[in-house]
Amino acid sequence: MKLYYAAGACSLAPHIVAQEAGIVLSLERVDLASHKTESGVDFYQLNAKGSVPFLVLTNGESLSEGSVICQYLADSVANTQLLPPVGSMARYRVQEWQNYISSELHKSFSPLFNPKASAETKALFAQQLKAKLTWVSAQLANRPYLTGEHFTIADAYLFVVANWSQFVALDVSDLAPLHAFLQRVASRPAVQAALKAEGLIK
Ligand SMILES: N[C@@H](CCC(=O)N[C@@H](CS)C(=O)NCC(=O)O)C(=O)O
């Protein structure tokens, strides 16, 4: 399978999931400004949505939407720690987090990265994000990962999105459980491997 990604973007979540699941992906970097892939292909010709992550399967089919790609990857090797079995309440809990991170956190960061957004717009989104991350942090006060003792695909997604705070001057240093979570996830060997492969750490 080939994952189209941009370093440190939301595509890092499926990349981490693949590393955690022992899935060897072929990686192709996308320059989101020029929409060219590292082999010189126009990314829009592959994915008209223009966004990463984008996964091309071995049978030639493709899949977009990061939270679903993560589910596909975990299911493809039946890794029930990363994603519990179909029909279990534990799976719905992971999916509940996936949806929250996608709809309430991920897309609220977008205006903070957008040079066209006004200072007022950025301040409003930053304020809302801080409130949401404060709630997320409180959920992590008594457990190492979002749904309990085990790292799941939702932890990979939260790790990637919450880490963006440092690039948009959103101060979350007072959120101790979230801070500890980010360090806990960063220290996982699979996460280190994904960060290295994307050139984010040495
Ligand atoms: N709905 C998509 C959104 C993905 C997304 O926002 N990707 C960003 C990087 S984090 C991107 O590729 N932005 C560039 C663009 O859309 O042109 C998903 O959840 O996978």
Domains recognised in the chain with CATH numbers: 2-81+190-197 (3.40.30.10), 89-187 (1.20.1050.10)
* 13 Cβ closer than 6 Å to some ligand 1 atom: no
**Tokens standing for residue 65:** 């939407």
Q: Which amino acid is at 194?
A: A
Closest CA to 136 of 101, 95, 111: 101
* 75 Cβ closer than 6 Å to some ligand 1 atom: no
Q: How many CB atoms lie within 10 A of CB 16?
A: 29
* 160 Cβ closer than 6 Å to some ligand 1 atom: no
Atom of ligand 1 nearest to the CA of 11: 10
- pLDDT at position 27 is 98
Query: Which residue minimizes the CA distance to atom 16 of ligand 1?
Result: 51
- pLDDT at position 72 is 98
Going across the sheet that includes 62-64, the strands are 36-37, 26-31, 2-5, 54-56, 62-64
- pLDDT at position 172 is 95
Determine the distance separating the centroid of ligand 1 and the alpha carbon of 48, expressed in angstroms. Answer: 12
* 199 Cβ closer than 6 Å to some ligand 1 atom: no
Half-sphere CA count of 96, side-chain side, radius 13 A: 10
- pLDDT at position 76 is 97
For the chain, residues with pLDDT lower than 70 are none
* 84 Cβ closer than 6 Å to some ligand 1 atom: no
Q: Residue 72 — φ and ψ, nearest 5°?
A: -60, -45
* 9 Cβ closer than 6 Å to some ligand 1 atom: yes
**pLDDT tens readout for residues 92-149:** 999 999 999 999 999 999 999 999 999 999 999 999 999 999 999 999 999 999 999 9
Determine the distance separating the centroid of ligand 1 and the alpha carbon of 142, expressed in angstroms. Answer: 32
Q: Which amino acid is at 132?
A: K
Determine the distance separating the centroid of ligand 1 and the alpha carbon of 147, expressed in angstroms. Answer: 25
- pLDDT at position 169 is 81
Determine the distance separating the centroid of ligand 1 and the alpha carbon of 6, expressed in angstroms. Answer: 10
- pLDDT at position 60 is 95
